[in-house]
């Protein structure tokens, strides 16, 4: 029996549950710090997130948390305990056969990842996002719904690309950046920078 434990039982976690079921997982449970409240609502929540070590040999793990820093925290905990974090891909996503995906990454419905892309650990490629040829995403990047990355775009660790934003070909977005919803990125974004607008400008 394929068994998956999802860390985080809010909306993002429920989307991952749906993808997992479509990938043949038969037993799906959660850990969440609001576990008592959620259990009363009928969710299959076994305890707080701190209980990860108790289940490390019993389940595979997925992290149902959109926030990059928190997702990285739990990725690191599971990795240090030698836990198994599968790559989860919705059946309606299109992923080229030579794309490199790393542990803990989730690709949502109708996303497209084109040839030659490299996607790091614990990334989120959200609903209907498109990532064109030879893009590189570092670990714990979140590509929000409806984002479009043109070819050869690079996104650094822990950066968040907001819903509906577009990035033109060859652009480098650094580490720890936020690209605001609907932004159009036409020039390099340095580390630790937030940009918004069309064309994207630094948010001061």
Per the annotation, does 33 bind a ligand?
Answer: yes
Instruction: Give the C-alpha distances (Å, rounded to integers) separating 203 from 26, 178, 181, 187, 194.
Output: 45, 10, 13, 14, 6
Are the C-beta atoms of 165 and 147 separated by less than 8 Å? Answer: yes
Q: What is the C-alpha separation between 12 and 202, in angstroms, rounded?
A: 28
Buried b (16+ CB within 10 A) or exposed e, 22-32: eeebeebbbbb
Per the annotation, does 12 bind a ligand?
Answer: yes
Query: Token pair for residue 25?
Result: 């997982």
Per the annotation, does 10 bind a ligand?
Answer: yes
Write down the catalytic residue from 79, 90, 133, 148: 133
79 is a catalytic site residue: no
Per the annotation, does 32 bind a ligand?
Answer: yes
Per the annotation, does 163 bind a ligand?
Answer: yes
Per the annotation, does 142 bind a ligand?
Answer: yes
Are the C-beta atoms of 119 and 106 separated by less than 8 Å? Answer: no
Per the annotation, does 11 bind a ligand?
Answer: yes
Q: State the binding site.
A: 10-12, 32-33, 66, 142, 163
Q: State the binding site for substrate.
A: 10-12, 32-33, 66
Q: State the binding site for acetyl-CoA.
A: 142, 163
Return the active site residues.
133
């Amino acid at each position: 029996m394929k068994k998956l434990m999802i860390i985080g039982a809010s909306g993002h976690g429920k989307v991952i549950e749906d993808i997992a079921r479509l990938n043949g997982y038969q037993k799906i449970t959660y850990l969440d710090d609001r576990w008592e409240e959620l259990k009363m609502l009928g969710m299959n929540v076994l305890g707080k997130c701190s209980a990860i070590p108790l289940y490390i040999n019993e389940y595979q793990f997925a992290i149902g948390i959109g926030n990059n820093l928190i997702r990285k925290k739990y990725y690191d905990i599971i990795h240090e305990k030698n836990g198994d974090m599968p790559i989860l891909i919705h059946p309606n996503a299109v992923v080229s056969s030579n794309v490199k995906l790393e542990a803990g990454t989730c690709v949502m419905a109708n996303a497209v990842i084109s040839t030659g892309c490299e996607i790091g650990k614990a990334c989120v490629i959200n609903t209907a996002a498109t990532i064109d040829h030879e893009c590189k995403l570092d670990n714990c990047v979140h590509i929000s719904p409806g984002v479009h990355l043109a070819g050869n775009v690079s996104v650094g660790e822990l950066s968040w690309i907001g819903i509906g934003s577009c990035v033109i070909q060859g652009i480098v977005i650094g580490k720890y950046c936020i690209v605001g919803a609907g932004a159009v990125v036409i020039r390099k974004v340095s580390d630790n920078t937030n940009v918004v607008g069309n064309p994207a400008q630094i948010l001061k």
